[in-house]
Amino acid sequence: MKVVSLLTDFGDFYPGVMKGVILSLTPEARIVDITHSVEPQNILQGAFLLYHSFRYFRNAVHVAVVDPGVGSERRALVIEGKNHFFIGPDNGILYPSAAEDGIKAAYSIKEEISELVGELSSTFHGRDIFAPAAAMVVRGDYTYFEEIEKEKLEKLELFDCSIMGNKVRCRVVYVDRFGNVVTNLREVKGKGFYFRGVEFPFVKTYSDVDVGEPLSLIGSFGTLELSVREGSAGEMLGIKRGGGWIELEVL
């Protein structure tokens, strides 16, 4: 039984339709939802969450669809890694995970694969292209795949931070449901950070500060998070979503 993971920004009934397509073509597939709550069109966030999720599966097929360019000339991909397959648009969302796994081969998905579903929408390639592609990978059927040069895949750098003196420039990946501001900064030096008039002392755990106090720490993804114990750093700082750049002063 092959595991197929799904990660999208769809939010509502669309993932259920994708599951229906996959199971109608490969009833033996086992489908696992990573998340369907990626912020709309936030490719960086989707890539980040996939990168920190795929490694906890074993020999799985990962479908990641955050696709602002749906219906355009961008390619639909299957990337074969050493241990996993990655399926989605060629907009960078797959690349960090596939590169980490080790890319063996890359394929462009032919639009004719939509014949397995019976239609091709210009707005729902998750249903018409990526879901049937996942089913074909599970079956080991490459009929609708055409090999392409893996060196020409769209790349995305997850950890593109810069340090100049006591200033650190990094990106907010997302704000989680607890209000933690999750960044892409992995290298942390100093006693804390100053940002938007607030000091965030660098600590090991939330309990190192009093309730309601700001803090910074390395979260479960191995990157810097700005937090408030039992509160919301996102609300404190006026940050509601990811994708933007911020500049922190190192204390």
Residues 87, 61: Cα–Cα separation, whole Å: 7
200 and 236 share one domain: yes
Whichever domain contains 133, its CATH number is 3.40.50.10790
Q: Is the pLDDT of residue 154 over 90?
A: yes
Residue 119 lies in a domain: yes
237 and 217 share one domain: yes
Please report the pLDDT score of residue 203 as a whole number: 95
Of the three residues 92, 122, 152, the one that is the final residue of a domain is 152
Residue 194 lies in a domain: yes
114 and 181 share one domain: no
pLDDT digit string (tens) for 177-202?
999 999 999 988 889 999 999 999 99
Residues 250, 162: Cα–Cα separation, whole Å: 13
Residues 80, 68: Cα–Cα separation, whole Å: 23
116 and 227 share one domain: no
Please report the pLDDT score of residue 189 as a whole number: 83
Please report the pLDDT score of residue 129 as a whole number: 94
Average pLDDT over residues 146-155: 95
167 and 129 share one domain: no
Please report the pLDDT score of residue 219 as a whole number: 94
Please report the pLDDT score of residue 72 as a whole number: 82
Is 210 in contact with 221 (CB distance < 8 Å)? no
Residue 157 lies in a domain: no
Of the three residues 107, 122, 152, the one that is the final residue of a domain is 152
Of the three residues 110, 127, 152, the one that is the final residue of a domain is 152
Residues 72, 139: Cα–Cα separation, whole Å: 28
109 and 214 share one domain: no
pLDDT digit string (tens) for 66-103?
988 887 888 999 999 999 999 999 999 999 999 999 99
pLDDT digit string (tens) for 211-233?
999 999 999 999 999 999 999 99
93 and 185 share one domain: no
Output the six-digit token pair for 31.
Answer: 């489908």
Question: Residue 91's domain spans which residues?
Answer: 3-152
58 and 135 share one domain: yes
187 and 206 share one domain: yes
Please report the pLDDT score of residue 1 as a whole number: 63
139 and 213 share one domain: no
Residue 225 lies in a domain: yes
Tally of structural domains, the chain: 2
pLDDT digit string (tens) for 2-52?
999 999 999 889 999 999 999 999 999 999 999 999 999 999 999 999 999
Please report the pLDDT score of residue 196 as a whole number: 93
E-strand ranges in the chain read: 3-8, 30-35, 61-65, 76-81, 85-89, 103-109, 145-148, 162-164, 167-175, 181-183, 192-195, 198-201, 214-218, 224-228, 245-250
17 and 87 share one domain: yes
Please report the pLDDT score of residue 120 as a whole number: 81
171 and 62 share one domain: no
